[in-house]
């Protein structure tokens, strides 16, 4: 049975998401504690609370321009706002009143949502689906200027985990402790 679950590392006030960037964007963000001039505000950026989905998407930081993995702690109210106001990237008749309604919402919304298969440490798809959220426009500006609490570069950690995994060592206890997240 397929399910949609948001699994994340979170506290009472923050939720951790992951993004992968080139060195110039990541280094500037870590140094400043926020995204700076190297970050493109004119395009959609995708945030992912699932560590293993980010590892799958970035090939553990080995894809071009995704060599640096950032762990970004956001204010929960910002993340919750994004989830509650997101428009699905594909039309679903049980969610939208009509195809035309969905197309209109896609046109006017600054937030997208899609559910992708969660991944195991080898990138194999699991039964549950995990969320990723696309932000642009005014919501992206809020993300950059208001929602970010902390940015950490976890690239060395991810490379170490990948190396251990490739040597067939058990890394399960070293992975982030993600729990099912409920929107408040």
pLDDT per residue as tens digits for the range 143-183 = 999 999 999 999 999 999 999 999 999 999 999 999 999 98
**What is the model's pTM?**
0.94
The encoded tokens of residue 3 equal 């399910």
Burial tier of 31 (Cβ tally within 10 Å: 0-12, 13-18, 19+): exposed
pLDDT of 131: 97
Q: Is 147 in a helix, a strand, or coil? A: helix
pLDDT of 167: 97
Closest CA to 142 of 78, 98, 95, 87: 78
Reported as half-sphere exposure (CB side, CA atoms, 13 A), residue 45 has a value of 21
CB atoms within 10 A of CB 15: 24
Mean pLDDT, residues 49-75: 97
pLDDT of 24: 97
- Separation CA 4–CA 114 (nearest Å): 10
pLDDT of 1 over the 90 cut: no
């Amino acid at each position: 049975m397929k399910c949609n679950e948001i699994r994340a590392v979170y506290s009472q006030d923050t939720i951790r998401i992951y993004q992968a960037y080139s060195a110039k964007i990541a280094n500037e963000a870590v140094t400043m504690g926020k995204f700076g001039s190297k970050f493109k505000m004119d395009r959609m950026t995708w945030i992912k609370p699932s560590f293993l989905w980010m590892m799958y998407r970035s090939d553990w930081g080995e894809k071009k321009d995704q060599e640096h993995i950032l762990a970004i702690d956001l204010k929960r109210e910002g993340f919750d706002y994004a989830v509650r106001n997101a428009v699905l990237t594909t039309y679903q008749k049980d969610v939208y009143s009509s195809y035309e309604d969905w197309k209109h919402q896609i046109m006017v919304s600054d937030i997208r949502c899609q559910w992708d298969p969660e991944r195991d440490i080898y990138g194999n798809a699991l039964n549950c689906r995990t969320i990723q959220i696309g932000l642009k426009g005014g919501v992206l500006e809020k993300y950059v200027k208001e929602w970010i609490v902390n940015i950490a570069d976890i690239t060395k950690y991810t490379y170490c985990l990948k190396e251990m995994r490739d040597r067939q060592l058990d890394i399960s206890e070293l992975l982030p402790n993600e729990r099912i997240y409920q929107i408040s």
